[in-house]
Structure 1
Amino acid sequence: MGVEYVEGTPERVVGRMPVNGNTQPYGLLHGGASCVLAESLGSAGAALHAGPGRIAVGIEINATHHRSVTGGYVTGVATRVHGGRTLATYEIVITDEQDRRVCTARLTCMLRDRP
């Protein structure tokens, strides 16, 4: 998928992904690829929030796809909405290279002790 992490804290994770290689048959960014980027960034934030000795497991994701993209890179910013002891929720906004919103997603992760 080519996801690259740019920055990461428990409160905010930023990453990017190429459109090329992540398209559906019409040459547009695949909605599933947007979900992969969103879940990758949100899960990374949840894992940072959970801390050492704990893991984050995605339990729910939803996404609204606002516009199509045919080339370049998309950038995702995952912002923590809720950070508790057992759940962490992130809003992920994905934009194109012109800073136009492509997708808005929300991810909830369950936080558990490492087995």
Structure 2
Amino acid sequence: MSIDEFIAQMPHGNGPLNDKMGVVITEITPERLVATMPVEGNTQPYGLLHGGASVVLAETLGSIGSAIHAAPDKIAVGVDINATHHRAATSGTVTGTATPIHLGRSMAAFEVVIVDEAGRRVCTSRITCALLDAPKG
């Protein structure tokens, strides 16, 4: 499935929050999802990439990966996310890469590694989604 096909299937496209934060999905496969996000506009008062912005990027990737795994009979809903912030990013673009940790019948979990333009790890996140029966109709 192409990125455009996936986004077209979603009720709200890329999602208003992702649009506001500048999240751009660049790769979707069952084994790996990748997206970028600008640091500018997503900073906290000290000018550093906001930790919550990193979590938004991680949740986007992990949720999409879980949704792809769950489709078409189930939907994915986030139940847990954590993040460890390793270093600051103050400019440029960060890139998140999500890889599956567990793809089960009732749960999916992904590790998301976010790096800066120099390839230095900025954040490591883990997201778990419950896989629920899709609504009928």
- TM, length-normalised to structure 2: 0.82
Give the unaligned 5+ runs of structure 1. Answer: none
Q: Which has the higher contact order (CA 8 A, sep 6+)?
A: 1
Find out whether 1:41 has 2:61 as its counterpart: yes
* Among 64, 86, 91, the residue aligned to 1:66: 86
Give the unaligned 5+ runs of structure 2. Answer: 1-20
Find out whether 1:18 has 2:38 as its counterpart: yes
Work out the CA distance in 2 between the residues paired with 1:75 and 1:101.
10
* Among 96, 111, 132, the residue aligned to 1:76: 96
Find out whether 1:5 has 2:39 as its counterpart: no
* Among 105, 109, 112, the residue aligned to 2:125: 105
Q: Percent identity over the alignment?
A: 66
Q: Report the structure, 1 or 2, having the larger strand content.
A: 1
Q: Report the structure, 1 or 2, having the larger helix content.
A: 2
- TM, length-normalised to structure 1: 0.97
Partner of 1:89: 109
Give the RMSD, CA atoms, in angstroms: 0.7
Shift of 1:11: 2.1
Q: Deviations over 1:27-46 (max 9, x none)?
A: 00000000000000010000
Shift of 1:23: 0.3
Q: Deviations over 1:71-95 (max 9, x none)?
A: 1100000000100011000000000
Shift of 1:51: 1.4
From the CA coordinates, give the structure whose radius of gyration is larger.
2
